[in-house]
């Protein structure tokens, strides 16, 4: 009965014709997010060959890794043609911002992910803020600066706390929430070089707004958007949310803060006008829309847009998805998405990122990691590879955020216990992880 119901849902999403042919999938990227995507796509009954480029040793357990530069548009298109790829799923932001999706569209190859112009929502913080202002999307006040001296004068006028952002991509490290004027002024000099290395990189200065952060995801086909899932992540490197920002040190889903009413407001006040605005600008949005939100008594406010699944958010959202992911991705790429939200497990998921010493600065590479099989054998645990490589059968650290360990449980406490039990089985003295992922949500439960 369940299989029949899922087939009917597939008809509603417009992919019933795909059941007559297996779908060959190419996933671009090499992190834990791409491992999670490959894992979900590979288990689909629609899946044919699943490739990941360049992938990692974890991806190789569920798909075929390909030594292919995800940013090389011509080679990506050539590979798709040679391997009869039906769908390309772009994981990280850089290939989207550089226009890989546009090259695939020109070659008439289906792609899950927005084109270069739509990807400016993430590629330029200033563009995203201007977009929100134009289309009435709630966000904080801001100013854009090319001249660092002008930026610093503005900071002194406004005072602290205040938010300083590099305009372009900075791998999750281009934001400083400054608690003093001196810290904000120093951030201007550092972040001018963070996004692109350009001497005159733009800086965005934003009003600080308090509240609670949520990562909200919608699936979009250019005309229709449906709510997908939400999570909360931990961006600071250290326990107690201390230290510099990172790409993310852990996450959990679902957040207790996400109520049906808040979901409705986000879709109506933020996602819907974003879709209208993108279409009005001639850049219809297709793919995953990731809205970083600050929620307070006034409601949801946009902190930032991202144009892909988050990392580590994907590692807690995708394991909870009960419906087949692949037909959803196909429907977004084809423009055949129907207004029906997918089904997620009521279970909670919590993920711990294990990073190499030195991260978020220069990480220590080349150290051997043991105990991965023991960790994977932990009840309710999933081990996902991020920055790893394999040399002579040994798994070595080869990046900053090296592994993500996800625990699933009846509630957040059980998910946390399973994730940490698995992480503690990994033998890697050159790695570290936070011990307090989910602390705020768990403390609220304990207070009840």
230-262 pLDDT tens trace: 999 999 999 999 998 899 999 999 999 999 999
Half-sphere exposure of residue 200: CA atoms within 13 angstroms, side-chain side: 3
Identify each DSSP E strand in 198-285 by its residue range.
Answer: 203-207, 212-221, 225-233, 236-238, 242-245, 250-253
User: Do 162 and 155 meet the contact criterion of CB atoms below 8 Å apart?
Assistant: yes
| Cβ-proximal residues to 224 (8 Å cutoff; 6+ apart), any chain | 275, 337, 338, 339
**Is the model's pLDDT at 4 over the cut of 50?**
no
Report which of residues 309 and 17 the model is more confident about. 309
Mean pLDDT over 384-411 rounds to 97
**The pLDDT of residue 200:** 52
Q: Measured on CA atoms in the order 218, 33, 285, 112, is the torsion positive or negative?
A: negative
**The pLDDT of residue 197:** 45
pLDDT digits (tens, 9 = 90+) for 95-113: 999 999 999 999 999 999 9
**The pLDDT of residue 8:** 40
Work out the percent of the chain whose per-residue pLDDT is above 70. Answer: 92
**The pLDDT of residue 191:** 86
Domains of the chain in start order, with CATH, are: 2-112 (3.40.50.20), 141-207 (3.30.1490.20), 211-334 (3.30.470.20), 348-447 (3.90.600.10)
**Is the model's pLDDT at 177 over the cut of 50?**
yes
Average per-residue pLDDT in the chain? 92
User: Do 403 and 355 meet the contact criterion of CB atoms below 8 Å apart?
Assistant: no
**Is the model's pLDDT at 143 over the cut of 80?**
yes
pLDDT digits (tens, 9 = 90+) for 189-234: 888 876 544 445 799 999 999 999 999 999 999 999 999 999 999 9
pLDDT digits (tens, 9 = 90+) for 54-79: 999 999 999 999 999 999 999 999 99
**Is the model's pLDDT at 134 over the cut of 90?**
yes
Mean pLDDT over 149-171 rounds to 91
**Is the model's pLDDT at 384 over the cut of 60?**
yes
Helix axes 439-447, 412-423, angle to 10 degrees: 140
User: Do 243 and 176 meet the contact criterion of CB atoms below 8 Å apart?
Assistant: no
Mean pLDDT over 390-403 rounds to 97
For residue 255, count CB atoms less than 10 angstroms from its CB and return exposed for 0-12, middle for 13-18, buried for 19 or more. buried
Is pTM beyond 0.85? Reply is yes
Mean pLDDT over 393-411 rounds to 97
The stretches of 314-379 forming alpha helices (DSSP H) are: 314-317, 325-334, 372-376
**The pLDDT of residue 11:** 45
Distance CA 380, CA 418 (A): 6
Give the confidence band of 293 by pLDDT, cuts at 50, 70, 90.
very high
């Amino acid at each position: 009965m369940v299989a029949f119901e899922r087939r009917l849902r597939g008809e509603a999403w417009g992919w019933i014709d795909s059941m007559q042919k297996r779908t060959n999938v190419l996933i671009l990227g090499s992190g834990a997010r791409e491992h999670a995507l490959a894992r979900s796509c590979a288990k689909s009954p629609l899946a044919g060959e699943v490739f990941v480029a360049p992938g990692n040793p974890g991806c190789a357990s569920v798909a075929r890794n390909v030594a292919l530069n995800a940013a090389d548009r011509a080679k990506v298109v050539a590979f798709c043609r040679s391997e009869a790829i039906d769908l390309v799923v772009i994981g990280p932001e850089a290939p989207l911002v550089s226009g890989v999706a546009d090259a695939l569209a020109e070659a008439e190859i289906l792609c899950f992910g927005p084109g270069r112009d739509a990807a400016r929502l993430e590629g330029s913080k200033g563009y995203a803020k201007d977009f929100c202002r134009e289309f009435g999307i709630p966000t904080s006040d801001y100013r854009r600066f090319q001249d660092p001296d002008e930026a610093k004068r503005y900071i002194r006028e406004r005072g602290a706390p205040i938010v300083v952002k590099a305009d372009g991509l900075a791998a999750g490290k281009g934001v400083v929430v400054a608690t003093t004027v001196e810290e904000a002024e120093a951030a201007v000099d550092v972040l001018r070089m963070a996004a692109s290395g350009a001497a005159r990189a733009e800086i965005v200065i934003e009003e600080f707004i308090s509240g609670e952060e949520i990562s909200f995801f919608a699936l979009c086909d250019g005309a229709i958007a449906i709510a997908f899932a939400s999570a909360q992540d931990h961006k600071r490197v250290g326990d107690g949310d201390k230290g510099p920002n990172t790409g993310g040190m852990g996450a959990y889903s679902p957040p207790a803060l996400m109520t049906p009413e808040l979901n409705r407001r986000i879709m109506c006040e933020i996602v819907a006008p974003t879709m209208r605005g993108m279409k009005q600008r001639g850049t219809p949005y297709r793919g995953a829309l990731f809205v970083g939100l600050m929620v307070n008594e006034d409601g949801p406010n946009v902190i930032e847009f991202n144009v892909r699944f988050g990392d580590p958010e994907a590692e807690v959202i995708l394991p909870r998805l009960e419906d087949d992911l692949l037909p959803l991705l196909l429907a977004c790429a084809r423009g055949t998405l129907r207004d029906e939200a997918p089904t997620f497990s009521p279970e909670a998921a919590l993920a711990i990122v294990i990073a190499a010493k030195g991260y978020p600065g220069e990480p220590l590479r080349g150290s051997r990691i043991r105990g991965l099989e023991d960790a994977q054998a932990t009840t309710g645990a999933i081990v996902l590879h991020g920055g790893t490589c394999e040399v002579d059968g040994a798994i070595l650290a080869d990046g900053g955020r090296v592994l993500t360990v996800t625990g699933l449980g009846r509630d957040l406490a059980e998910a946390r216990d399973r994730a940490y039990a698995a992480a503690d089985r990994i033998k890697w003295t050159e790695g570290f992880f936070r011990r307090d992922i989910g602390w705020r949500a768990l403390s609220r439960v304990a207070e009840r």
